[in-house]
Structure 1
Amino acid sequence: MQRLPVITAFGGFNPAGRSSFHRGYKRLVLDNLSLAERNDTLSDLAALMGLRTGADAHGPLEAELERKVLDSTLVRELEARYYDYRNCHFHQPAQLSSDNGFTFEMSVRQLPVPLPEGWEVESLDGGKVRVKCSSLSVMLDSHREISVASAGQLPTGFEPGEQYNSRFHPRGLQLAILGASDAVQSLGIDWERVVAKAGPENISVYASSAMSQLDPNGNGGLLQSRLRGGRVSSKQLALGLTSMPADFVNAYVLGSVGTTGAVAGACATYLYNLRAAVEDIRCGRARVAVVGAAEAPLVPEVVDGYTTMGALANIEGLRKVFGGEIDFRRASRPFGDNCGFTLGEGSQWAILMDDALALELGAPIHGAVANVFVNADGPKKSISAPGPGNYLTVARAMAEARAILGEESLQQRSFVQAHGSSTPQNRVTESAIFDQLAAAFGIESWPICAVKAYLGHTVAAASGDQLVTSLGIFARGILPGITTIDRIADDVHHNNLMLSMQHVERAPESLDVAFLNSKGFGGNNATASVLAPHVVERMLGKRHGAKALLDYKKRNEEVVLKAAAYDESASRGDLKAIYRFGEGLIDESGITCDSERVTLPGIGGEVTLPCENPYGDMV
């Protein structure tokens, strides 16, 4: 019997704010919350954005401040803190020529090597030279409008690099540090205690970005440096790697010596890492698995690339959709009349434990990941086009969920978090998959959510957004509607689907399982099945017994109080970011070994070596 990967903590940041304690989820369904919950959600956001701090951070917001918070979250017109899309800098190449030639002075240090053909150079005083030539190849500073003006941006005023000593860190890695820190602190259990109980060799961390770190402190600066006349720094290449979110969290948040990995799969990256974590726990390779992703793609080069592909919702396309004036808040339009997706930035993290360890530690139970299925598309004509692999991932996830929970849970008590990228092609192909499989499994009105309508497409972190939203739905029962559209597009398949443009309220206990779906460039398809906490508790009671569950609940009381203390602090604007640079270094001279164990001094702990033949009598 396999171990169950229980979700014991989650955290992160995206355009809706902080994810832990369902804070970001509540921003999505704000209109359906009670007045007290609404005020608490807005107050938390105001503190995160630096608009209210300390003792003044709590309580209802005055009307003007509330409007500012609402307008400065979720998808919206791109802010100048990223770049000015109306006046974006670039270099215009030009070839200058003159019948009379050119004469100019410059520093001798600026002379190109080798000298261009036809240049006559005369030395001057003060380290200068005079150059004469008949033609000149130059790059002229210029500015132009980038035709994409909307994005899912972190709440205005919230800068992740200001929360810790983030010098030279690319924005994506800043997000990784903060997101993982948020998840760890929401657990309500000291991490050292988790490691001591699980064993340092039984911790896994799987996380990555899909596109690497592309701002000036990462690969963006690395690739631009020569063309800009600058020098590559010693950090840009290393910090630009897609594995860095996992590496940073191992080194600076967890201090982990356990298994690590970074799986990249385009838009399915989060689910690929989640799959590795689930497999580790199910087969016993790990007792704890930390899963995450971080992406900060709001840089001109990335936007240029997707725009050239015709993938993004640009100004001209949105004008046609809206019939005139653009509402940038509604630029991301899954399953409606749309013209392309909207990029977003974010970082999401979850901490999984095997069921026995979760009970032993009294850890929170937010749900469990039953499985993650991955299939490629087979032969392709276009690497960016969708294919048949997603039929397989969704069908396999549905069939296994039915085997675990029964026919009624699948047909009446499940919902889908669609990839919902907001492209014309996605709305047709993904809806066709859901509609056909719903009919095949006897589902008459399958609820479909599409959180990219609110957050944009955060690339590697996109399915992390789906996961934390699903946990919020399990807790509150409010399924976010696709509120950015006025109607379902004519070519969307929905005979057996419920695509609601308003939030839909259900009793939390009436929802048993969520399916997270991702369709990535290159044929990277993945679908995860996530079980609701009430289902998980029922399963744990059956496996471990009523007494074990009762003892667990007693242990959990103290954990809940400690987690709530962190939430209270974070809601005042103090995130208490974990960043242990150079702390607790393991002195390699103090490592001791024998044939059965390796003992690391300090935080490392004792690692037991394998002693059983895994291949039985084959050897």
Structure 2
Amino acid sequence: MQRLPVITAFGGFNPAGRSSFHRGYKRLVLDSLGADERTDVLSDLAALMGLRTGDAAAGPLSAELEQQVLQGTLVRELESRYYDYRKCHFHQAADLQSESGFTFEMSARQLPSPLPEDWKVEPLEKGRVRVHTAGLSVMLDSYREIAVGSAGQLPTGFEPAQHYNSRFHPRGLQLAILGASDAVQSLGIDWDRVVEKAGPENISLYASSAMSQLDPNGNGGLLQSRLRGGRVSSKQLALGLTSMPADFVNAYVLGSVGTTGAVAGACATYLYNLRAAVEDIRCGRARVAVVGAAEAPLVPEVVDGYATMGALANLDGLRKIFGDNIDFRRASRPFGENCGFTLGEGSQWVVLMDDELALEVGAPIHGAVANVFVNADGPKKSISAPGPGNYLTVARAMSEVRAILGEDSLRQRSFVQAHGSSTPQNRVTESAIFDRLAAAFGIEGWPVCAVKAFVGHTVAAASGDQLITSLGIFNRGILPGITTIERVADDVHHDHLALSTKHVERDPASLEVAFLNSKGFGGNNATASVLAPHVAEKMLAKRHGERAMTEYRKRNEAVTENALAYDARASRGDLDAIYRFGEGLIDEAGIALEGSKMTMPGVAGSVSLPDENPFADMV
């Protein structure tokens, strides 16, 4: 018997806003919501964007303010707070020559070492020198256009750094702190109580970025500093590591001494980390597992790199679709006429518990993760090209769901969250996988969603966007349509698929499983199967009995009340981010070892040490 990994909390931030309580999801399907719910979503976003605060944050928005919120969310033209893509600074190398040579003055402290052989230096007063040389090699300040003008940006006016003491933190780590804090607070249970119930050694955390932290406070600044005439800081290398989202959340949000890891797999990074967490819970290595990712790739160097590969939707490609009047809000176009993907930034987190612990503490049940399958592509001509591994991951996930829930559930009550990167190659290859496997498993009209149409490609966090959106679908029953395209492209395989350009409303009870699919550079393929909350509760009732479920629901009432209190505060703009810098430090001198237990001051309970031989049959 394996434990079921139950999703008890979720949170984060992306171009749709705050993820907890399905708020980001509701921004995607805003046009399908009723008036009151629509007002609530827009009010929450207005507060997040700093347009309304405190008690004034609630209530209907003026028409002007509503447009400001709508225009400042989801994929849109790149804002100048990142950089000016029309006039991006760079250095132009030049060799200067003159028959009469060059003479110039400078500070003696700025002289290069060693001096160029043809330089003649004459001392002057006040620490200055005069230099004579026949020629100069220089770097001239220059500007050029990076021909990518669309991006999935955090809501306009929302700056993570303003919500906690974020000195010198790269933007990706700011997002990690806020995203994990949002998830933990949405749980509605004090984290120390969770640790006390589970045991500190039974907590796992898996999170990472894929690109590392590439802004000036991370690896970007580390690599640029000497070339820009600056100095490397003591923080840039350490804070630039891909493991830092996990390290920061362990240290400053959870205060965890449990298992930690940071798995990177290009665009499949989130599912790789989710797989590690699911395995921990299913086999009993952990009772609680926190999973996340954070990515902040909207820096010129990253955009320039992807653009040079021909992977991004650039201005010329968009002009071929829209003409001279480019609609940047529809630049990300999965399964339609498209020209490349759109980068986005974001951070998504979930808290998993084993089924017994979730019931014991009265935790919310938002669904469950049945499994995550990973397969490589085998021999490849190009490291970035798709391959056969994704056929395996999708087929394995479908086959196991059929074994768990039955044929009818797979055929009639499942849907797919496509990788849907918005490249011409992806629309053909991924649709072929879904279409062929749908036919093989007897599925007709298989619903396919593509969240990147709304938020862009958040790289490491991309499948987190898929997961959070799926939880929203289970809650509201609205399948987001691919609203950025007019029609499905001619070369897309969809004989057995349902690709809609409009939102599709279903009875939530009719949706039982979501498949999250990811195709990453290098052959990093992953597919997860996520079960709806009503399915998870039914499974829990069968295992633990109706009496246990009744007692669980009583415990859950206070938990729900606490969680909603956080949501109310956050909707007024008070995120109250958890950032425990320097708090609750463990005095190593106070660590006590007694028999097979180690007790650490400041940490709830004691850590059990392994004292059984796992290889008893071999020794």
TM-score of the aligned structures, taking structure 2 as reference length:
1.00
Which residue of structure 1 aligns with residue 584 of structure 2? 584
Counterpart code for 2:391? Y
Which residue of structure 1 aligns with residue 594 of structure 2? 594
Moved more, 341-350 or 605-614: 605-614
1:52 deviates by: 0.4
Q: How many angstroms apart in 2 are the aligned matches of 1:614 and 1:292?
A: 31
Which residue of structure 2 aligns with residue 115 of structure 1? 115
Which residue of structure 1 aligns with residue 396 of structure 2? 396
1:323 deviates by: 3.1
Matches within 5 A, 1:241-390: 241-390=241-390
Matches within 5 A, 1:416-455: 416-455=416-455
1:447 deviates by: 0.1
Q: How many angstroms apart in 2 are the aligned matches of 1:91 and 1:299?
A: 16
1:505 deviates by: 0.3
Matches within 5 A, 1:521-600: 521-600=521-600
Which residue of structure 1 aligns with residue 186 of structure 2? 186
Which residue of structure 2 aligns with residue 163 of structure 1? 163
Give structure 2 stretches of 5+ with no counterpart: none
Counterpart code for 1:284? G
For 1:541-569, what per-residue CA distance to the aligned partner results, in whole angstroms no more than 9, with x for missing partners?
A: 00000100000000000000000000000
Counterpart code for 1:3? R
Q: How many angstroms apart in 1 are the aligned matches of 2:580 and 2:491?
A: 52
Q: How many angstroms apart in 2 are the aligned matches of 1:271 and 1:84?
A: 33
Which residue of structure 2 aligns with residue 71 of structure 1? 71
**Contact 1:367 1:531 (8 Å CA) reproduced:** yes
Q: How many angstroms apart in 2 are the aligned matches of 1:49 and 1:296?
A: 18
**Contact 2:372 2:529 (8 Å CA) reproduced:** yes
1:195 aligns with 2:195: yes
**Contact 1:14 1:455 (8 Å CA) reproduced:** yes
Counterpart code for 2:147? S
Q: How many angstroms apart in 2 are the aligned matches of 1:105 and 1:515?
A: 67
Q: How many angstroms apart in 2 are the aligned matches of 1:375 and 1:617?
A: 32
**Contact 1:344 1:458 (8 Å CA) reproduced:** yes
Counterpart code for 2:85? Y
Q: How many angstroms apart in 1 are the aligned matches of 2:40 and 2:603?
A: 38
Q: Secondary structure at the match of 1:146?
A: coil
Q: How many angstroms apart in 2 are the aligned matches of 1:198 and 1:37?
A: 37
1:485 aligns with 2:485: yes
**Contact 2:123 2:130 (8 Å CA) reproduced:** yes
Which residue of structure 1 aligns with residue 37 of structure 2? 37
Moved more, 45-54 or 586-595: 586-595
Counterpart code for 2:473? I
Which residue of structure 2 aligns with residue 151 of structure 1? 151
1:158 deviates by: 0.2
Runs (4+) of structure 1 moved beyond 6 Å? none
1:5 aligns with 2:5: yes
**Contact 2:12 2:178 (8 Å CA) reproduced:** yes
Q: Secondary structure at the match of 2:579?
A: coil
1:605 deviates by: 3.6
Q: How many angstroms apart in 2 are the aligned matches of 1:271 and 1:52?
A: 36
Q: How many angstroms apart in 1 are the aligned matches of 2:617 and 2:145?
A: 68
Q: Secondary structure at the match of 1:266?
A: coil
Which residue of structure 2 aligns with residue 226 of structure 1? 226
For 1:474-531, what per-residue CA distance to the aligned partner results, in whole angstroms no more than 9, with x for missing partners?
A: 0000000000000110100000000000000000010000000000000000000000
1:616 deviates by: 3.4
**Contact 1:256 1:604 (8 Å CA) reproduced:** no
Counterpart code for 1:348? Q
**Contact 2:596 2:608 (8 Å CA) reproduced:** yes
Q: How many angstroms apart in 1 are the aligned matches of 2:235 and 2:6?
A: 37
Q: How many angstroms apart in 2 are the aligned matches of 1:468 and 1:117?
A: 62
Q: Secondary structure at the match of 2:617?
A: helix
**Contact 2:192 2:604 (8 Å CA) reproduced:** no
Q: Secondary structure at the match of 2:51?
A: coil
**Contact 2:8 2:358 (8 Å CA) reproduced:** yes
For 1:389-424, what per-residue CA distance to the aligned partner results, in whole angstroms no more than 9, with x for missing partners?
A: 000000000000000000000000000000000000
Counterpart code for 1:58? A
Q: Secondary structure at the match of 2:2?
A: coil
**Contact 1:183 1:351 (8 Å CA) reproduced:** yes
Moved more, 540-549 or 317-326: 317-326
**Percent sequence identity over matched residues?**
83
1:594 deviates by: 2.5
1:224 deviates by: 0.1
Q: How many angstroms apart in 2 are the aligned matches of 1:409 and 1:324?
A: 47
Number of equivalent positions: 619
Q: How many angstroms apart in 2 are the aligned matches of 1:285 and 1:100?
A: 76
Q: How many angstroms apart in 2 are the aligned matches of 1:102 and 1:496?
A: 73
For 1:236-263, what per-residue CA distance to the aligned partner results, in whole angstroms no more than 9, with x for missing partners?
A: 0000000000000000000000000000
Q: How many angstroms apart in 2 are the aligned matches of 1:525 and 1:101?
A: 60
Q: Secondary structure at the match of 1:603?
A: coil
Counterpart code for 1:197? K
1:90 aligns with 2:90: yes
Q: Secondary structure at the match of 1:27?
A: helix
Q: How many angstroms apart in 2 are the aligned matches of 1:618 and 1:554?
A: 48
Q: How many angstroms apart in 1 are the aligned matches of 2:612 and 2:493?
A: 53
**Contact 1:516 1:529 (8 Å CA) reproduced:** yes
TM-score of the aligned structures, taking structure 1 as reference length:
1.00
**Contact 2:209 2:295 (8 Å CA) reproduced:** yes
1:76 deviates by: 0.1
Q: Secondary structure at the match of 1:495?
A: coil
Counterpart code for 1:66? E
**Contact 1:586 1:604 (8 Å CA) reproduced:** no
**Contact 2:435 2:495 (8 Å CA) reproduced:** yes
Moved more, 606-615 or 533-542: 606-615
Moved more, 316-325 or 42-51: 316-325
Q: How many angstroms apart in 1 are the aligned matches of 2:55 and 2:541?
A: 42
Which residue of structure 2 aligns with residue 614 of structure 1? 614
For 1:443-476, what per-residue CA distance to the aligned partner results, in whole angstroms no more than 9, with x for missing partners?
A: 0110000000000000000000000000000000
Q: Secondary structure at the match of 1:553?
A: helix
For 1:25-66, what per-residue CA distance to the aligned partner results, in whole angstroms no more than 9, with x for missing partners?
A: 000000000100000000000000000000100001010000
Q: How many angstroms apart in 2 are the aligned matches of 1:50 and 1:603?
A: 37
Q: How many angstroms apart in 2 are the aligned matches of 1:583 and 1:506?
A: 47
Matches within 5 A, 1:449-464: 449-464=449-464
Q: How many angstroms apart in 2 are the aligned matches of 1:140 and 1:571?
A: 48
Which residue of structure 2 aligns with residue 81 of structure 1? 81
Which residue of structure 1 aligns with residue 100 of structure 2? 100
Q: Secondary structure at the match of 1:125?
A: coil
**Contact 2:199 2:604 (8 Å CA) reproduced:** no
Q: Secondary structure at the match of 2:126?
A: helix
RMSD (Å) for aligned C-alpha atoms: 0.6
1:612 deviates by: 1.8
Q: How many angstroms apart in 2 are the aligned matches of 1:504 and 1:296?
A: 31
Q: Secondary structure at the match of 1:329?
A: helix
Which residue of structure 2 aligns with residue 205 of structure 1? 205
Which residue of structure 1 aligns with residue 140 of structure 2? 140
Counterpart code for 1:524? N
**Contact 2:199 2:607 (8 Å CA) reproduced:** yes
Q: How many angstroms apart in 1 are the aligned matches of 2:24 and 2:395?
A: 30
1:603 deviates by: 2.5
Give structure 1 stretches of 5+ with no counterpart: none
1:213 deviates by: 0.1
**Contact 1:257 1:604 (8 Å CA) reproduced:** no
1:618 deviates by: 2.0
Q: Secondary structure at the match of 1:618?
A: coil
Q: How many angstroms apart in 2 are the aligned matches of 1:117 and 1:297?
A: 42
Q: How many angstroms apart in 2 are the aligned matches of 1:229 and 1:253?
A: 36
Moved more, 604-613 or 449-458: 604-613
**Contact 2:196 2:604 (8 Å CA) reproduced:** no
Q: How many angstroms apart in 1 are the aligned matches of 2:177 and 2:63?
A: 34
1:89 deviates by: 0.5
**Contact 2:148 2:315 (8 Å CA) reproduced:** yes
1:604 deviates by: 5.4
